[in-house]
Chain A
């Protein structure tokens, strides 16, 4: 009834209606035509390249298998960087289009951190899995290898979603360092240093700083003597941007110990790798700690563990916690001292260097952090922090050599940032509240994951505070390892954790 009344009330002449109809049609046709045209034009490689003016993207695409292949098929920008039509294409196009327009108008391309955008977590945001599968519909071509088969079975059955890019990160933009599909059997074999190898390890007769020498190699590293004593571990309730697992603050007493001035470098780790690496699989083998037993070390890695950033004095990365602790056993054996990973308390004591502030230098996490809406416009404060810590803002998405930063009050480098560091202790979020040990605490008796401390080149400023805690994530860090069971020596999906060593005071007595 209401409907009829409405009709009666509208009195538009027949002619007017007619013209409305015709002009409507014309507008509709024009819109449709230009819309289609606009979509097509804005989806060409040329159009993409007109704003994405970093030449590397274009060059690396043309070197990749998605451009440079035997069949001559060229896969265009939008075929990976937008979902297929009918699967959210227009929505995604509108969203990325607006974002690009904003960037084009308001941003200087020189300021964009392209290296950071190449990392897996960023790549996942602008490569659509549905697009991969749109073309690669057969995950089991007849020629697929055994490892490929295992990996694709994992992809189909994994409870945690695995993205195609987890394994195939560089198929769209070539990276000469990516070699995930072959075991790198020559990894770390070349010795670059010259000169005669050290005949024996450092002799330590007094508790003071010394330079350790790995016998039979040219590799040496500095150990700093820390006197021990009392310190306040954890962060107080009023520390900005703290997490709950950092409290309550406890007063902890430590015995004296030595700690590495820097994180264990590739030179140091490769000395171990070369001497102990096992050709075959040794998964599940028990490594004995007795001095007479030969230590069986890591298997050859898959791909490039150094991510192509270079080895030398950069911190060694991607080894598992297990591998790091076997390294310490080996180092103890070849030097006749007692090396191990630091306990969490030793780590924090060494990091703080006597300070009780969020960082070992002056500054407020709230000002340093890049998180938060306002920071998008004003940018974070980098005074003090950028010269002392390799973190998200200054790292260009990779590790740096120790000389990049200033030391902490104990003379230690990269305690915060660069790579997160393994500790000896198991991780437990409520351990500080539960624990009653105040002298040389060693962490929970049992656990699955271990503590890592210090944050890394990927961390925000809030996660490179002295008290900030994190833990290993074994399953997530091995998600794309194609072997079953997965390697106990190398993480396939973690590129920002390493470690530094501690030498026990007992080493003075055990010296031959």
Chain B
């Protein structure tokens, strides 16, 4: 009899998606300092271990993609980028040039432009690892193809833009774990030593039982592209993807998902329900909002207030705060008691002058790749896809609450058939019309936002 296997799919799993969480392990860990494995934390590494050479293919060769590829090769020895895929040839060329300038040429026959470039890249048997760094709308298809072609995966958050995509990611994640493919996601706070150590404190009871939280990602406006005369609808939207909901998922997914993920992580569960507001005050292009304010209800009176905004000259800051019965924390490096006295602080490494730095030496963007390579080379399995998919789903729940003005439950959103974007991905005219969603618009049974208006 295989106890482990039955635990995996036994009745316990039927209760729902569960995570350990700082709150959940509190009582068990008061006695001794729990180790990383017990708390579900990644190892903190100075570099990925040596091992068999790993060749990676990059899917999505834009700025973050090129950055991720560089992060990958700098995370340890014998790591290479050998293939590129992107919808646009100019993005491939720019990325290839960048790597050529490092004296790391990428063969031209391994570079694939177009909507199906990723399939050609993953058909290369030498590719061991794929880095999936396109706009999130494409992630579910890319991840499934990676699992079908037996590749280990790094993929950026968010993992999808709609519940259909989220369910696809979760199913593919389970397929990946069945065949032992490692998956690391770009929720870098989970790989940051300061966050990890703060989590350990909270898990050991440093702030007591969690009673409330807030999460905020309030920043200046983000990039956008005006339409150029020779761009067809699809080209324009892809070039300006960060401003269209079907490609980006709106900024509550794109950036705020980091904070939402931290709250879910510390809470050890996912919210039951969301009610919220949002709107579009100053955004120039696309169909997205530029501010959201969501109440995520975690049950038993515990809520997280989630804010995000992309407007200049406002009270802008990003971070988290979690309140407990015995103190509170910024989740990143400090724990206070209820009177505001510092109870604990993470000790950052000191620079050459002996003054403490304000961050860890190894950037979390590199740390996450070290974690992936470590898992592949040591066999210490990792798969973060499901947890990041569920945090992305949390953000989708909040977005839908704001777009519709309605309360959205976890069950509603998990089972929703919302599927954003055109049914066919090809260049040319897109038979969709866009306008920003207006709360209170009648919705019958699905929570699909109605697209009307012009592509602006």
Interface residues of A (CB under 8 A from B): 84-87, 130, 133, 137-142, 144, 146, 149-150, 152-153, 155-159, 161, 281, 283-286, 483-486, 488
Q: Are A283 and B14 in contact (CB under 8 A)?
A: no
> What is the minimal beta-carbon distance from A288 to any residue of chain B, in angstroms?
13
Which B residues are CB-close (under 8 A) to A286? 444
List 17 A-B pairs, Cβ < 8 Å: A87-B1, A140-B174, A140-B175, A146-B168, A146-B171, A149-B168, A152-B174, A156-B14, A157-B14, A157-B16, A161-B14, A283-B445, A284-B443, A284-B445, A284-B446, A286-B444, A484-B417
B170 at the interface (CB under 8 A from A): yes
- Pick the contact of A158 from B8, B14, B417 — CB < 8 Å? B14
Q: Are B178 and A156 in contact (CB under 8 A)?
A: no
Q: Are A144 and B414 in contact (CB under 8 A)?
A: no
Which B residues are CB-close (under 8 A) to A157? 14, 16-17, 414
Q: Are A139 and B174 in contact (CB under 8 A)?
A: yes
Q: Are B444 and A142 in contact (CB under 8 A)?
A: no
> What is the minimal beta-carbon distance from A166 to any residue of chain B, in angstroms?
13
> What is the minimal beta-carbon distance from B181 to any residue of chain A, in angstroms?
10
Q: Are A484 and B167 in contact (CB under 8 A)?
A: yes
Which A residues are CB-close (under 8 A) to B175? 140-142, 144
Nearest chain A residue, comparing its CB with the CB of B412? A485
- Pick the contact of A156 from B1, B6, B9 — CB < 8 Å? B9
Nearest chain A residue, comparing its CB with the CB of B13? A156
> What is the minimal beta-carbon distance from A295 to any residue of chain B, in angstroms?
16
Which A residues are CB-close (under 8 A) to B147? 142
B314 at the interface (CB under 8 A from A): no
Besides A149-B174, A484-B167, A484-B417, 4 more A-B contacts (Cβ < 8 Å) are: A133-B9, A142-B178, A146-B168, A484-B416
- Pick the contact of B446 from A140, A141, A161, A485 — CB < 8 Å? A485
Interface centre among B2, B8, B148, B174 (most CB of A within 10 A): B174
B425 at the interface (CB under 8 A from A): no
The complex places the Cα of A384 from the Cα of B148 at a distance, in Å, of: 63
B415 at the interface (CB under 8 A from A): yes
The complex places the Cα of A155 from the Cα of B147 at a distance, in Å, of: 22
Which A residues are CB-close (under 8 A) to B446? 283-284, 485
> What is the minimal beta-carbon distance from B43 to any residue of chain A, in angstroms?
26
B281 at the interface (CB under 8 A from A): no
Which A residues are CB-close (under 8 A) to B9? 133, 137, 139, 156
Which B residues are CB-close (under 8 A) to A284? 443-446, 448
B179 at the interface (CB under 8 A from A): yes
B52 at the interface (CB under 8 A from A): no
Which A residues are CB-close (under 8 A) to B15? 159
Which B residues are CB-close (under 8 A) to A149? 167-168, 170-171, 174
The complex places the Cα of A155 from the Cα of B11 at a distance, in Å, of: 10
Nearest chain A residue, comparing its CB with the CB of B445? A284
The complex places the Cα of A283 from the Cα of B448 at a distance, in Å, of: 11
B31 at the interface (CB under 8 A from A): no
The complex places the Cα of A149 from the Cα of B178 at a distance, in Å, of: 14
Nearest chain A residue, comparing its CB with the CB of B415? A484
The complex places the Cα of A155 from the Cα of B17 at a distance, in Å, of: 12
Which A residues are CB-close (under 8 A) to B6? 130, 133
Q: Are A153 and B171 in contact (CB under 8 A)?
A: yes
The complex places the Cα of A140 from the Cα of B176 at a distance, in Å, of: 9
B5 at the interface (CB under 8 A from A): yes
Which A residues are CB-close (under 8 A) to B1? 84-87
Which A residues are CB-close (under 8 A) to B11? 161
The complex places the Cα of A153 from the Cα of B163 at a distance, in Å, of: 13
Which A residues are CB-close (under 8 A) to B167? 149-150, 153, 484
> What is the minimal beta-carbon distance from B436 to any residue of chain A, in angstroms?
21
Which A residues are CB-close (under 8 A) to B415? 484-486
List the 7 closest pairs (A to B, CB-CB), nearest first: A149-B171, A140-B174, A284-B445, A284-B444, A484-B415, A138-B178, A140-B175
CB within 8 Å for A140 and B444 given contacts A87-B1, A157-B414, A281-B417: no
Nearest chain A residue, comparing its CB with the CB of B16? A157
> What is the minimal beta-carbon distance from B327 to any residue of chain A, in angstroms?
34
The complex places the Cα of A85 from the Cα of B170 at a distance, in Å, of: 32
Q: Beta-carbon contacts of B140-164 to A below 8 Å, as 1s and 0s?
A: 0000000110000000000000010
Q: Are A485 and B16 in contact (CB under 8 A)?
A: no
The complex places the Cα of A152 from the Cα of B170 at a distance, in Å, of: 11
Q: Are B444 and A153 in contact (CB under 8 A)?
A: no
> What is the minimal beta-carbon distance from A486 to any residue of chain B, in angstroms?
8
The complex places the Cα of A39 from the Cα of B1 at a distance, in Å, of: 19
Which B residues are CB-close (under 8 A) to A138? 178
Nearest chain A residue, comparing its CB with the CB of B148? A142
- Pick the contact of A485 from B13, B148, B170, B417 — CB < 8 Å? B417
